[in-house]
């Protein structure tokens, strides 16, 4: 039997405090820990929780190989979040500076989903139940 395992993706961003504020406002994330600022004034890590899921944001540090999507020329990972109101979440993200990559619409595979690029270059699939208008 596998011991209890917890996976926490860490999103590399230029400004962890700005990213933390975005994820709190746009996704309803709760900040549960913020490391003190380092020599450059940025925290090394800020932990968040959304429901039972958790994730972290950390600053880009080129010598460590911690590169943001902007440093890489795009995101290498898709983050998928299932929410009750995908349209509302997408609208909040865009209002906070994100960009629609694929519009949130009812999809033939039985979900309402779309893709949003956050202001830090990370790609999010926002998904939920089909719209029953």
pLDDT of 2 > 70? The answer is no
DSSP secondary structure, 48-111, as one string:
EEETTEEEEEEE-BGGGTB--HHHHTS-S-EEEEE-S-HHHHHHHHHHTT-EEEEEEEE-TTS-
The number of folded domains in the chain is 1
3 is a domain residue? no
1 is a domain residue? no
Give the pLDDT confidence score for residue 43 in this predicted structure: 96
84 is a domain residue? yes
Give the pLDDT confidence score for residue 131 in this predicted structure: 72
Q: What is the pLDDT of residues 50-101, one digit of tens each?
A: 999 999 999 999 999 999 999 999 999 999 999 999 999 999 999 999 999 9
Average pLDDT over residues 2-28: 92
38 is a domain residue? yes
Question: What is the distance between the alpha carbons of residues 104 and 96, in angstroms, rounded to a whole number?
Answer: 17
Instruction: Give the residue with greater pLDDT, 2 vs 104.
Output: 104
Q: What is the mean pLDDT of the chain?
A: 94
2 is a domain residue? no
Domain that holds residue 73: 10-128
CATH code, domain with 64: 3.10.180.10
């Amino acid at each position: 039997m596998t011991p209890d395992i917890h996976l926490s993706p860490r999103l590399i961003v230029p400004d962890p405090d700005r990213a933390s504020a975005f994820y709190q406002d746009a996704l309803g994330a709760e900040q549960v820990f913020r490391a003190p600022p380092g020599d450059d004034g940025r925290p090394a890590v800020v932990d968040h929780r959304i429901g039972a899921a958790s994730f972290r944001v950390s600053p880009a540090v080129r010598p460590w190989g911690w590169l943001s999507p902007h440093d890489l020329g795009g995101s290498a990972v898709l983050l998928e979040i299932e929410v009750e109101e995908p349209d509302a979440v997408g609208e909040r993200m865009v209002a906070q500076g994100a960009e629609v990559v694929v519009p949130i619409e009812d999809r033939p595979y039985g979900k309402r989903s779309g893709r949003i690029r956050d202001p830090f270059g990370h790609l999010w699939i926002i998904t939920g139940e089909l719209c029953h208008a």
